[in-house]
Structure 1
Amino acid sequence: MSRTTPRTDGGTEDDPERSVTPLELFFDLVFVFAFTQVSSLLAHDLTWTGFASGAALLAALWWAWVGYSWLTGAVDAEAVLPVRLVVLTAMAAMLLVALAVPDAFGDDALLFAAGYLVVRTLHLVLYAVVAASESRSAVRRVAPGFLGGPLILVAAAFSDGAVQAGLWLSALALDYGVVFVRGVEGFRVTVSHFVERHRLVVIIALGESLVAIGIGADGLPLRAGVVVAALLGIVLVVALWWLYFDYVVLAAERRLARERGDARAALARDSYSYIHLLMVGGVIYVALGIERTLAHFDEPLGLLPAVALCGGCALYLFGHNAFRYRDHRTVSVPRLVVAAAVLALIPLAVRVPSVAALAAVTALFVGLAGYETVRSEHRKRLRAAGTDAG
């Protein structure tokens, strides 16, 4: 059971030592598959429309995951048998949603939307039944948006073209906007549990990049160029991991722990539920760029794969800076510089062999990680604080 500690606003907050449960890890597996499906869709539809469709699908899938990350932080779903069964039912519905992703704007649109509605409805039902009274009140306040968005997607399944796109945009705007406009007062956040869930989902996204290396090299003879491209790809993924896990998560967790009550919930909403989508999305687009590089290592990248590789890297760093600004009201100038530099590489990436473009991007990220590791005073202060606390 989770211990509780007094809160300054008169309630109780879960002890920050609470960990992610095996049920949550099991539940996340279906999102691993869903993210893989988005990557596959992007790889098979290298058009601007395909990119936009992938972004919309990722936003919808991410928001479903976000809802359950808040829910399982408030309720120990594994310990209560009926709750466990409902979560597993939602997992089955989410599998159908993931299966429908490749044709979610075509023949499988209704399957995607109906399954998604079931996933989101079960989330609200669980909150309404088992959460604390103040959380139930908060859920009732945002329920019109949380149900309205999926219902609009059901309507979108019966349309196509511009009408379908407009309905999708409306659904996402309503779903994401309701907790911004109506607030998250009444929701509660257990810091260690909440941060750990998001660390794990970043790992899932980075795992997509590693899978992309295997997919890109599938069926190719392991010539020197393929081996070099694969090594560059994994070094880039390691650099992405390093930039997030070396000290960013330490600073963010301590910042979140300093807040209490509704202020903590608002910070969690902004820094994690909203801003982490930029990072996860960036990594998934980087995975596409790596895959295309492996498949055509001795040819220039096309425009869209170049945008995926370089733009995904830039989006990842912009997400980091948005995260830092929301938490600390500061930005990392080196990360802004590197983000601008990788965007400037796009015209080069469509002219030189793709392995050379990947090498340039990787060099920038390794250099950034090395610079911050050696020179960052912020990192040194965090490490020193951790040592003193120990």
Structure 2
Amino acid sequence: MADQRGEEFLRGKMTSPRATFLELFFDVAFVFALTRVSNRLVQDFTVERRTFLPEAGQTLLLLLALWFVWSLTTWTTSRYNPEQPVLQLVVAGSMFGGMVMAVSLPEAFDTRGLSFALGYVAVQVGRPLVITVVMRHHRERHIARRNLVWAAVSAVPWIAGGLVQDEARGVLWTVAVIIDYGAGRLGWPLPGRGRSPASSWTVTGEHLAERFQQFIIIALGEMILISGFTFSGSEFDGAQWVAFAITFATTALLWRIYFYRAGTVLADAVAASPRPGRLAESATYTHLTMVGGIVASAVGYELVIAHPGGHTDPAWLWVIIGGPALFVLGRTRFEYEVFGRVSRSRLIGLAVLVAIVPLVAGLPPLAVAAATSAVVAGMGLVDALRARGRPEERPAPPM
């Protein structure tokens, strides 16, 4: 009987699979965090530096840390009962830690490195520590223990990185991120105890699907927020009006492309999969790719609204064109996860986005954005034409 104590902390058949209001409240911290990421990335593209790639790499590192906090918290609420006060405390604590990371993020590689690292470590160690305590008599307590051990291991380079400066911080934090993501991919192995990959966990697929959908909406909302702030502070000239309209249209198109079939039936795909955990684990990294594409797109179109004319900095092409391309790349993988096939329009769209880079490199930013948006609109149009008169396709996940 001792092995059954703690069963009430697991999600049961009577627990609603829908996201709770607390989880939606938790997401508010990440709306703010994504704006911090975008603002930092804009500085990487506009401030005169000879070290652009290292600066952008630092921002990517911070985004990976934020995503790891959000995704592991989401997996936790998908496995454990979010109606339990203890789990609600875990979510609230994770939200506070996320806010600490967000407010520290702009200067994370300068004067606020330690506060960013402490916020991250507090969440990543605190979450499995609490669950280990409440599940200490349950037969599945080993999962939280594994997470706790590896979180403690990665905490060393995270804290050490916060205490040093310059390149040493980047090296240590890169090692920490590799440990975190590598341990997750390997199933948090322990000597003599093997592995326990997330794909083998008992999770609520409908809940995970809804949470992924909600985060895509958050990222798209951040794109609207950034473009709105940028345009409201502009001179409102004709070119900036056009840039703002293109930005809004592109945001709507990304929403349409994500939710066209695959995004809508993700929950059904997870339910239809013989190994729902494996599909959900794969979707975690796929959605990270799409979120990265949306954040980069937000940065690119913010630059276009602020500077629609003149010469396009070659580095700006990485976000004006590369952002939508990264989103489409993730969306292509997502389509395969749900349906086991890939639409030709996705592959053609990716090829065209790559092909137009040398053609638009000498044009003003507004023209580059217009060409990119036209390609994205073409993919959305093909989706709409293909859907006309056809029954909805049922998911057929290959995993």
**Which of the five TM-score ranges fits, normalised by the shorter chain?**
0.7 to 0.9
- Cα 1:25–1:359 shift into 2, 3 Å: same
Q: Which one-letter code corresponds to 1:98 in the other structure?
A: A
Of 162-171 and 294-303, more deviation after overlay is shown by: 162-171
Equivalent-residue separation in structure 2 for 1:24 and 1:197 (angstroms): 9
CA displacement 1:123-145 (0-9 Å, x = unmatched): 21233244693543222234333
Q: Percent identity?
A: 29
Shift of 1:340: 2.2
1:167 paired residue number: 172
Q: Which one-letter code corresponds to 1:121 in the other structure?
A: V
- Structure 1 unaligned regions, length at least 5: 1-10
CA displacement 1:223-251 (0-9 Å, x = unmatched): 22111111111110111000011211234
Could you state the TM-score of these two structures normalised by the residue count of structure 1? 0.88
Q: Which one-letter code corresponds to 2:228 in the other structure?
A: G
Shift of 1:205: 0.5
The question of 1:83 aligning with 2:93 is answered no
1:184 paired residue number: 198
| RMSD of Structure 2 on Structure 1 (CA) | 2.4
Contact preservation (8 Å) 2:23, 2:91 = no
Shift of 1:208: 1.5
1:45 paired residue number: 44
2:364 paired residue number: 353
- Cα 1:353–1:12 shift into 2, 3 Å: closer
2:22 paired residue number: 23
Of 250-259 and 201-210, more deviation after overlay is shown by: 250-259
Q: 1:363 aligns with which of 369, 374, 383?
A: 374
Contact preservation (8 Å) 2:328, 2:350 = yes
Equivalent-residue separation in structure 2 for 1:204 and 1:243 (angstroms): 16
Equivalent-residue separation in structure 1 for 2:207 and 2:120 (angstroms): 25
Aligned residues: 370
2:7 paired residue number: none
Equivalent-residue separation in structure 1 for 2:172 and 2:54 (angstroms): 16
- Cα 1:293–1:268 shift into 2, 3 Å: same
Q: Which one-letter code corresponds to 1:268 in the other structure?
A: A
Equivalent-residue separation in structure 1 for 2:15 and 2:335 (angstroms): 22
Could you state the TM-score of these two structures normalised by the residue count of structure 2? 0.86
Shift of 1:89: 2.7
- Structure 2 unaligned regions, length at least 5: 1-9, 46-51, 188-196
Equivalent-residue separation in structure 1 for 2:66 and 2:323 (angstroms): 18
Of 132-141 and 361-370, more deviation after overlay is shown by: 132-141
Equivalent-residue separation in structure 1 for 2:139 and 2:370 (angstroms): 52
1:211 paired residue number: 225
The question of 1:198 aligning with 2:208 is answered no
Q: Which one-letter code corresponds to 1:146 in the other structure?
A: A
The question of 1:382 aligning with 2:392 is answered yes
CA displacement 1:325-355 (0-9 Å, x = unmatched): 3444422321122122223333344421211
Of 144-153 and 35-44, more deviation after overlay is shown by: 144-153
1:102 paired residue number: 106
Contact preservation (8 Å) 2:297, 2:324 = yes
- Cα 1:92–1:69 shift into 2, 3 Å: same
Q: 1:286 aligns with which of 297, 313, 324?
A: 297
- Cα 1:297–1:84 shift into 2, 3 Å: same
Contact preservation (8 Å) 2:73, 2:94 = no
Contact preservation (8 Å) 2:11, 2:81 = no
- Cα 1:380–1:217 shift into 2, 3 Å: same
Contact preservation (8 Å) 2:109, 2:166 = no
Contact preservation (8 Å) 2:78, 2:208 = yes
Shift of 1:305: 1.9
Q: 1:227 aligns with which of 226, 231, 241?
A: 241
The question of 1:70 aligning with 2:75 is answered yes
CA displacement 1:354-377 (0-9 Å, x = unmatched): 111111111111111111121259
Shift of 1:277: 0.5
- Cα 1:382–1:281 shift into 2, 3 Å: same
Q: Which one-letter code corresponds to 1:32 in the other structure?
A: V
Contact preservation (8 Å) 1:307, 1:346 = no
